[in-house]
A = this chain, B = another copy of it.
Amino acid sequence: MSVRWVVGVDIGGTNCVVAAVPFQGGMPAAVRALPTRPQRGPDAAVADIAAMAEEVIGEATGSEGGSRSDVLGVGIGCPGPLDLETGVIGATPNLGWEGYPIRDRIAEALGLPASLDNDANCATYGEWWQGAGRGTGSLVGVTLGTGIGGGFVEGGRILRGASGSACEIGHMTIALEGRRCGCGNDGCLEAYASGPAIAARAREGLREGHASILPELVDDLETLTAATVYEALTLGDAFAQDVMTETARLLAVGLANLVNLFNPEMIVVVGGVTRAGEHLFEPLRSEVRRRAFRSAVNACAIVPGALPDTAGVIGAAGVFVMERRR
């Protein structure tokens, strides 16, 4: 019997990634990516996605007697909020496609059944299905970038919640009297440990006069990003390590809460921040250990993702497989 395939689609504010993923699990046979350019509107992006999908399908099924009938469907990951019942996009700032029926438009364009879930759930599911979390009974994924999101997989199933918005990890209050967040809450984790928060912490320290290689890595302090801090870490910069240690201390508050609430076998952290490696993970594990319940900490591995560029697209395909096995 020939291999069966699922097309994974990972729609981001910057790029759209499309891949042919084996239904039984495994690495993608073919991957394509194009800039999303969301301001063009969703129809143009769907046309690009459909064209990339036909390419990866052709590449994946082109050998060993495969055919298009070996493609069982398409799994789509997209920034939320989403209406998972209807497959319609909500008020998503990065895209601006509110009200667009993304699931059905892609399904129609490809003539394939489609699933839809948010990007953080897909990245989490990808790491559980084919990445760092393979074989775990329960796993929390934490996606750390411009924002902080997450997902929870238990028994092979993603926790979606009553309105499809479970695991909004970034909007957990960790500071009672913390600053107001755009979401309306105060003291959200996202304000303390996201990529922009890391960059802001670094800029603040530099303005206070801390010695560092960081100013040499950027033209202007305003263009300094979290990625600049990761670069300085690899160059042995002590101030960059201080910034990362403080970030780890704050992120650990959120992760300790996740350990005490979900008691998972693993927390997998995905996103650019994993480039900080043990500069992040060593102080992170140490502080989570101090804060969370001993038995729960002992049961929980805290690790970086194993699929830095493809967790989202693999997980999007994985969610389609999960729904088929419901």
Contact = CB atoms under 8 A, between A and B. Distances in A.
B295 A81 contact: yes
Interface string A260-299: 1111110000000000000000000000001111011011
Contacts of A307: none
A242 interface: no
A24 to B, nearest CB: 26
A164 interface: yes
A185 B292 contact: yes
B296 A173 contact: no
A166 interface: yes
Interface stretch (A28-36, A44-52, A154-162, A232-240): A154-162
Contacts of A172: 257, 260-261
Interface stretch (A68-76, A176-184, A216-224): A176-184
A180 to B, nearest CB: 11
A203 interface: no
Interface of A: 81, 137-138, 154, 159-169, 171-178, 183-187, 192, 250, 253, 256-258, 260-265, 290-293, 295-296, 298-300
Contacts of A290: 184-185
A151 to B, nearest CB: 11
B299 A162 contact: yes
A186 B291 contact: yes
A295 B173 contact: no
A291 B173 contact: yes
A163 B260 contact: no
Contact of A263 (B163, B187, B261): B163
CB-CB nearest 3 A-B residue pairs: A161-B263, A162-B299, A166-B263
8 contacts: A81-B295, A161-B264, A161-B299, A162-B300, A163-B298, A169-B260, A176-B250, A185-B291
B171 A174 contact: no
Contact of A260 (B171, B186, B250, B293): B171
A290 B263 CA distance: 28
A247 to B, nearest CB: 13
Nearest to A136: B162
Given A138-B161, A165-B296, A173-B256, A184 B291 contact: yes
A15 B113 CA distance: 57
A133 to B, nearest CB: 12
Contact of A171 (B137, B187, B258, B293): B293
B293 A168 contact: yes
Given A176-B175, A257-B257, A296 B162 contact: yes
Nearest to A160: B263
